[in-house]
Chain A
Amino acid sequence: MNRRRTELLLLAFAVAVATVANVAVDVAYSEKVTPAVMTYSVALALLFGAAHLAVRFLAPAADPILLPCAAVLNGIGLVFQRRLDLAAADRAAQLGRAAPSGHATQQLLWTLVGVGLFVALLVVVRDHRLLGRFRYTLVAIGLFLLLLPSVLPARFSEVNGAKIWIRVAGFSIQPSEFAKICLIVFFASYFVEKRELLALATHRIAGLNLPRARDLGPVLLAWAASLAVLVREKDLGSSLLFFGIFVVMLYVATERTSWLLIGLGLFAGGATMAYRLFGHVRTRVDIWLDPFQDPTNRGYQLTQGLFGLATGGLTGTGLGNGRPETVPYAGTDFIFATIGEELGLVGVVAVLTVFALFVSRGIRVALGCRDDFGKLLATGLAFSVALQVFVVVGGVTRLIPLTGITLPFLSYGGSSLVANYVIVALLLRISDADRAFVERAPQATDAELTGEMTQVVVMR
């Protein structure tokens, strides 16, 4: 049970980080600490405490690092939402308007929903392998969620030119976040079942084992679906994310490099085609190549984000002392620039390190898992976080063209936050199964279990 004590300690640390940061924001803004700090700290302590108890009773052998990683990122995210709320209130006061409703309290509510779903999943899904049984239901839900916004009338689905929302009764849901998880579960189950076929039925051409034409079906289908998302919903980021996850999971299932090459080829083809055909893709690429050619208009967001990061420099301006609100969508797509401005390189490196830690723990879960479905599912989930972080942070820092997707746990937005708690719950569920097995079989050591040895032991 040492693992659970570690987790509790780390969760307490996450609450402490958020508390200190909230105090810093208050001091910078009003030179006194407001009761709100207490409210947030208590709320976070209660929520994370509940999550911890759920894990303690429902998945006692689960990985102790994943949940604290999510908690610390979620806490920092809340601090920055609060900080941006204060800036928005200041601006409104200057213009003589009423302060807009706060994003931070909203995000805290979403945290409650996320943790609630996290606990519910641990209760309902007692064995991750059960999920595989629902794979066709899940893929249907996934595709439905993914493509629904594109067929809905714009007033239900379009926000700022991207048709990726479902807006009902005052709520906005970004269904692609949930579709992503449904599809990862489906891919894991489907590929594990068909892996022999996908891996073995090949032609050998030019030193590569190429799959038979008819087995290309699912790949082409995924590719077409990604393009459909891109074309119909103008959602470059999700399109890239889905296809990347798909190809990587296919590769892991089959261990065939040819699938990676085919995937890259299809990606290159799709990207070129999209660049040729679609103005919005061309615009993104043009801005990426030279954001300063139109810095007041199309390049405004990216250049202001870069200015924010640069103004932050090594140590940042300090919480509450920067001007992150200059950047459009400072709380969602550009939350990374906001953090970089006020916490500097030190802050963003810390955040990226937490993400890297999260992903590496996820991969460990995959390596330690005893069944192929669990392995592939954990890999898919962990890699999806890595790729999503790469796409959004790479976009904000001009490493790759900018595509609007959320930064897990940090960006403002309920769908993203709740969906990411689902990922944590699934990873914990799988890791609990790994460890529970180990603890029942005391002759196997940790070292053996995390290495290739595991399979030898199992196969014997």
Chain B
Amino acid sequence: MNRPIRRVAVAALVLFGLLFLNVNYIQVVQADALRNNPRNNRLLLDEYSRPRGDIIAGRSTLVESKETDDRLRYLRVYAGGRDELASVFAPVTGYYSLVFGATGIERAHNDTLSGNDDRLFVRRLSDLLTGREPQGGSVVLTIDPEVQRAAAAALGGRRGAVVALDPKTGAVLAMVTSPSYDPNDLSSHDPEKIRAANKRLNADRNRPLLNRTAEEVYPPGSTFKVITAAAALEGGMKPSDQLPCSASIVLPDTRDVRLRNFGNSGCPSKVTLAEAMQKSYNTTFATLGMQVGADDLQEMAEKFGFNARPEFPLRTVASAFPQGLNRPQLAQSAIGQFDVRATPLQMAMVAATVANGGRLMRPYLVSEVLAPDLSSLEKTEPDEIRRAIGRDTAAALSSMMQAVVAAGTGTRAQIPGVPVAGKTGTAQNAGPSHAWFIGFAPANDPKVAVAVIVENGGGDDGATGGRVAAPLARQVMETALRERR
């Protein structure tokens, strides 16, 4: 009878073997995925039982954890609980919700803030041994709180967005979306209140939870002419080269589909590229786009970052320049219409690239990650994505854009004593046109690049980029220059 008993022993061994393999699979291979499953509230309860790290910008602490005496010990407090101020920073900080999880930097740097970061392992170990209360590391943002507040104040509750970058590094100085929301409402310890707040925010037609700077795309309108001009300059054209102009043109291959200048305004029959930019002549740029060709224009747009989702700690969507355009579509695309779509972040990157002599820097939001003892865990080094355009092209674009602000469509962006470069846009869409402005200052030594959009011009039918967006950009740039002297 020993032979079958041995076989039974082998069978038992196989059963144990399967169990060994399976526990390894669950506790090692699948462990991270299961542990971080949103339904696993163990980590959440642990996280709430220790202070989460701060989110800091400049000299202010935007987000901190405060001790309470309820079951979840630590409460997340945004901007000291002041709802106005908290909502200004909400698109960047995000919220930290018991019910809906985390968003924004709260989500992107959750490991550091919660103290689960692998780089904090030794610290956790010593906390365990010494009985010191474990706590999370802090995240320092590139955001300049003054610029952020100035941009939010300038938008004044109108639907729109502002992005300000340091063109030399790619550091994000301001990222404002409007209207916004108070993250304190969504981060409370009362699930019922959180659900109610979320329901209210989701029902709001102005979509306050949407980060318009990076999660929403708009037709860029005439601000896209910077890219069309860049493609032409890279193709050998000079700013002084003559181009045809008229109040309207009939698009090729169509029977009387007309593309018109803004307000149907007339122009001399021949203008230079620089003049066309200064006055934003649609007909000239449509013709120029067709000269450049669909492939070259698409390539140039992609060099500036179109058709790719930027690598960024917040949720972003890709800006789009369509492929396989026919000639009338190309003509419209060259002036930022048809199916061309861009996020405000993308258009700020365009302005920053021109300001930075043609080098596109990777936009970044976190300058430094700190351990709980404030030692530095990680510092962000500026990173060049690519050279989008040559130095000469960038210089030529810069002087053409300075002319736009000095005596063109963007005069309301002028700052006394500071050369400002810019480009306005008034983008057609289903409702009243969107008012755009992109630019940078000082033009001779750029310290800030901005993109501003006011959706539907703030509801005004006659609104233009020059009238509505340019003064807003000026306020933001002025504040940035004062802050970054």
Residues from chain A with a CB closer than 8 A to the CB of B131 are: 31
Chain A residues 211 to 266 lying within 8 A of chain B, measured CB to CB, are 248, 251-253, 255
Within 8 Å of chain B (Cβ to Cβ): is A17?
no
Query: A340 and B23: CB pair below 8 A?
Result: yes
Chain A residues, Cβ within 8 Å of B28: 313-314, 345
Interface residues of B in 1-31 (CB under 8 A from A): 1-6, 8-9, 11-13, 15-16, 18-20, 22-24, 26-28, 30-31
Cβ contact within 8 Å between A356 and B6: no
> Which residue from B5, B20, B23 sits with its C-beta under 8 Å from A309?
B23
One of A312, A318, A352, A372 near B19 (C-beta < 8 A): A352
B26: chain A residues at CB < 8 Å are 306, 309-310, 397-398
Contact between B30 and A310, CB atoms less than 8 A apart: yes
Instruction: Count how many chain B residues have C-beta atoms less than 8 Å from C-beta atoms of the other chain.
Output: 38
Chain A interface: which of B39-47, B171-179, B183-191?
Answer: B39-47
Query: Are A356 and B16 CB-contacts (below 8 A) given A310-B35, A397-B22, A397-B26?
Result: yes
Q: A310-B26, A348-B23 are contacts. A390–B42 as well, Cβ < 8 Å?
A: no
Count A/B pairs, Cβ under 8 Å. Answer: 135
Chain A facing B: main interface SS: helix
Please tell me if A62 contacts chain B, counting CB pairs below 8 Å.
Answer: no
Contact residue among A308, A349, A376, A386 (Cβ-Cβ distance under 8 Å from B1): A376
**CA distance in complex: A310, B45 (Å):** 16
| A303 touches B (CB below 8 Å) | yes
Q: B27 to chain A: which residues have CB within 8 Å?
A: 309-310, 312-314, 340, 344-345, 348
Known: A252-B1, A345-B23. A382 touches B12 (CB 8 A): yes
Least CB separation from A378: chain B residue: B5
Residues of A within 8 A of B20 (CB): 349, 352
Contacts of B8 in A (CB 8 A): 248, 251-252, 363, 379, 383
Are the C-beta atoms of B9 and A360 separated by less than 8 Å?
A: yes
CA distance A318 to B37 in the complex (A): 21
Q: B34 — nearest CB in chain A belongs to which residue? A: A310
Which residues from 34 to 62 on chain B have a C-beta closer than 8 Å to any C-beta of chain A? 34-35, 37, 39-43, 45
B199 in contact (CB, < 8 A): no
Q: Which residues of B contact A255 (CB under 8 A)?
A: 1, 3-4
The CA of A384 and the CA of B3, in the complex, are separated in Å by 19
The answer for the CA separation of A59 and B63 in the assembled complex, in Å, is: 70
Helix, strand, loop or mixed for chain B's interface?
Answer: helix
Contact B12 A311 (CB under 8 A): no
Known: A252-B4, A309-B27, A352-B23. A386 touches B34 (CB 8 A): no
Interface centre among B27, B31, B42, B43 (most CB of A within 10 A): B27
Docked-complex contact B40 and A349, CB < 8 angstroms:
no
Q: Determine the residue in chain A with the shortest Cβ distance to B25.
A: A397
How far apart sit A367 and B45, CA to CA, in the bound complex (Å)? 52
B45 A356 Cβ-Cβ under 8 A: no
Q: Is the CB of B1 within 8 A of A375?
A: yes
A40 CB, nearest partner CB in chain B, Å: 25
Q: Are B39 and A326 in contact (CB under 8 A)?
A: no
B81 CB, min distance to chain A CBs, angstroms = 26
Cα–Cα distance between A308 and B41 once the two chains are bound (Å): 10
A37 nearest CB across to chain B (Å) = 20
- Does B484 lie at the interface of the complex (its beta carbon under 8 Å from any beta carbon of A)? no
> What's the minimum C-beta distance from A372 to chain B, rounded to whole angstroms?
6
Q: Is A389 an interface residue (CB 8 A)?
A: yes
- Residues from 398 to 440 in A contacting B, C-beta threshold 8 Å: 398-399
Contact B23 A355 (CB under 8 A): no
Q: Kindly list chain B residues whose C-beta atoms are within 8 Å of the C-beta of A360.
A: 9, 12-13
Q: How far is the CA of A363 from the CA of B3 in the complex (A)?
A: 12
Known contacts A255-B3, A375-B5; A397/B31 CB under 8 A:
no
Which A residues lie within 8 Å of B22 (CB)? Answer: 394, 397-399
- Bound CA span A420–B12, Å: 18
Q: State whether A390 and B15 are in contact (beta carbons under 8 Å apart), knowing that A248-B8, A313-B31, A455-B2 are contacts in the complex.
A: yes
In the bound complex, CA of A308 to CA of B45 (Å): 13
Nearest residue, chain B, Cβ from A387: B15
Q: How far is the CA of A397 from the CA of B30 in the complex (A)?
A: 12
Kindly state the separation between the CA atoms of A393 and B20 in the bound complex, as whole angstroms.
Answer: 10
Give the shortest distance, in Å, between B459 (CB) and chain A (any CB): 44
What is the chain A residue whose CB lies nearest that of B128?
A318
Q: In chain A between 9 and 47, which residues have their CB closer than 8 angstroms to a CB of chain B?
A: 31
Task: Please tell me if the beta carbons of B37 and A363 are within 8 angstroms of each other in the complex.
Answer: no
> Closest A-chain residue to B33, C-beta based?
A310
Q: Is the CB–CB distance between B19 and A389 below 8 Å? A: yes
For the complex, give the distance between the alpha carbons of A318 and B128 in Å. Answer: 10
A394–B21 Cα gap in the complex (Å)? 11
Can you pick out 13 interface pairs between chain A and chain B where the beta carbons lie within 8 Å of each other?
A: A252-B5, A306-B34, A307-B34, A309-B27, A310-B26, A310-B30, A313-B35, A314-B28, A352-B23, A359-B16, A390-B16, A390-B19, A452-B2
Given contacts A363-B12, A394-B22, 6 further A-B contacts (CB under 8 A): A252-B1, A307-B40, A314-B28, A376-B1, A389-B19, A393-B23
Closest 3 CB pairs of A and B: A310-B34, A307-B40, A386-B12
